[in-house]
Amino acid sequence: MINPSAHAASPSTCDEFWWRGAVLYQIYPRSFQDANGDGIGDLPGVLSQIDYLAALGIDGFWLGPVFTSPMADFGYDVADYRSIDPLFGTLDDFERLLTRAHQLGLKVVIDLVLNHTSDRHPWFIESRSDRTNAKADWYVWADAKWDGTAPNNWLSVFGGPAWQWEPRREQYYLHNFLAAQPDLNLHHPAVQHAILDEIEVWLKRGVDGCRLDVANYYMQDPQLRDNPPRPKGEQTADGVPEISPYGRQWHIYDKSRPENLHFIKTIRHLFDRYPGTMTVAEIHDDHSTLRAAEYTAGSDRLHTAYSFGLLGPHFGTELIRNHLNDFAAQPGNGWPAWAFSNHDVPRAVSRWGQSSETSSENKTDSSPAFAKLLIALLCSLRGTIFLYQGEELGLPEADIPIDRLQDPFGRALWPVFKGRDGCRTPMPWDSRLPHAGFSVESPWLPIPENHKRLSVADQQADPNSVLTFTRRFLHWRKTEPALRFGKLAFIDAPAPILAFTRSLGDTQRLCVFNLGPTPATMPAPPGFTPLDGPGLSGCGQHDRLLLKGYESIIGTLPFDPKSPLDLEGTAPIRQGMGATSRAIEQASLINSA
């Protein structure tokens, strides 16, 4: 029986809602294409490959931060929001890229880091100088405890205390990440106005949207109360390595504060003045999927948000159902965004290739079948979809030796946690060229040999490659409004099969995925007809759907508004809150204090 998990979202004839159901490609600029031969990707390099992007069938791309930065965290420590770092090019280079993207019908989403700046930003240089300057309270400053220790027990995501002593002020400043990334005091109206001005500069330049880095971190508890400990044995927060001490607290007071929602509304109001623009929030929280739903509830908060719910180490039918149902069950009818890989987590084909539902003796983490399954599954979900560069090639996680490690997060927790460099290695364009065609010089991170064998040039002419499949699927998806805008309803099926319908008007599609490496089957609903367009390999035989390991099938179902789908041998999925919904109830009681 169908379990409706979300309301339908009708496409608009206006371009204002272009982001609903869109597929956006994430570009990590340092590793996409190097045009000037310094071993680091840049804006002219992105421009040189823009026809490749357009040919994929995407709707636009998210461009990682390219602003002036000391690069302590590779661009996520901004020293000037209005200029392009020379490492990546110039403002003219950005304008050329933006113009060409729009000519090709591609939307451009930039990455804005508003929670913190670089410690070399002029605002912080002035703020740290003394306690009486004009920007003295533009950052989060606090006195030491009587014994000289930090104001409270808050921890940095990257390890250690979240406080750094500043001798000129004889105070501590807050840094949720590196000490070189001081947190702005966004409770302060002047800081809010300054940040809004920085955003508007880029809206006036014509960008189509902004990804808001760690959007739920913007404000902290004004009383600076200690976070409560997380019970021993409790699963760590989404996106936090189990080895990290950061996961040993409930992050009640250092982020996701209720007052932050007022600032979120102010940001949305700014974007509403530029029709056709959008925001996508990154949410990193104890229960990030539910927080993403909160930040997108109603028409006065953010347009969409992605969380770390599907970016963790666990994989399987229950996990996916729970996160999608949890989001849909929240009030406000928010629009979700989903990603399986990005620049902060190991690549999905490796990360999930070790899970119980996907593991087998003969399986490797670069299995083309598994990579194709993940592309088809991700792009069939209800929401805005983010594909990470190299995902369309089926790239596995790279193993970076300690002497080439760049990521400060990885250096802090080595060797148990090797950091994020393994998912950030340069794109392999052509295995026949030096450095796989990424650069004429040695790149900033090494390119593994198994990545070179999966290069764009090697996959272009192969009709069975992951790249060919991705292109075919994405172009076919554009002809399927039900997959882009329709409501989603899960159907109970035996693991490792994941099955759901996408419905819009009188069109209904049944999507079935075998998440395991061995054959699986389920009853075929009456009137089911497979579709050839997506290039999927599952098949129907008599009254059964047959899927080999990692196979998928999508087909049509007859529309009958009077009769819900009822498959023999299946049971309805329980409606209502999933496990994370129940868990956040308790945390919310504390958070509202």
Domains in the chain (CATH in brackets) are 10-115+188-477 (3.20.20.80), 120-185 (3.90.400.10), 487-579 (2.60.40.1180)
480 is catalytic: no
282 is catalytic: yes
pLDDT at 404: 86
pLDDT at 533: 78
Tell me the DSSP string of 500-551.
EEEEETTEEEEEEEE-SSS-EEEEPPTT-EE-STT----EEETTEEEE-TT-
Residues of the chain above pLDDT 90, percent: 80
Tell me the DSSP string of 569-587.
T--PPPPS--HHHHHHHHH
Which of 119, 166, 213, 221 is catalytic? The answer is 213
Nearest to 83 by CA among 219, 193, 205: 205
Considering only 108-117, 133-142, 551-560, which range has the smallest mean pLDDT? 551-560
**How does residue 354 score in pLDDT terms, banded at 50, 70 and 90?**
low
Looking at per-residue pLDDT, the higher value among 534 and 427 belongs to 427
Distances (CA, A) of 412 to 178, 209, 230, 419: 11, 33, 22, 8
Residues 38 and 438: their CA atoms lie apart, in Å, by 11
Residue 131 confidence (pLDDT) above 80: yes
Distances (CA, A) of 250 to 52, 162, 254, 380, 496: 44, 15, 9, 33, 32
The tokens describing 135, both together, are 């920007």
Residues 108 and 99: their CA atoms lie apart, in Å, by 10
Q: How many Å separate Cα 167 from the centre of its chain?
A: 38
Please write the tens of the pLDDT for every residue from 254-309: 999 999 999 999 999 999 999 999 999 999 999 999 999 999 999 999 999 999 99
Which of 282, 357, 397, 458 is catalytic? The answer is 282
Please write the tens of the pLDDT for every residue from 240-265: 888 789 999 999 999 999 999 999 99
The tokens describing 493, both together, are 């099926």
Residues 368 and 70: their CA atoms lie apart, in Å, by 38
Residues 20 and 255: their CA atoms lie apart, in Å, by 27
Q: What's the pTM value of the predicted model, to 2 decimals?
A: 0.91
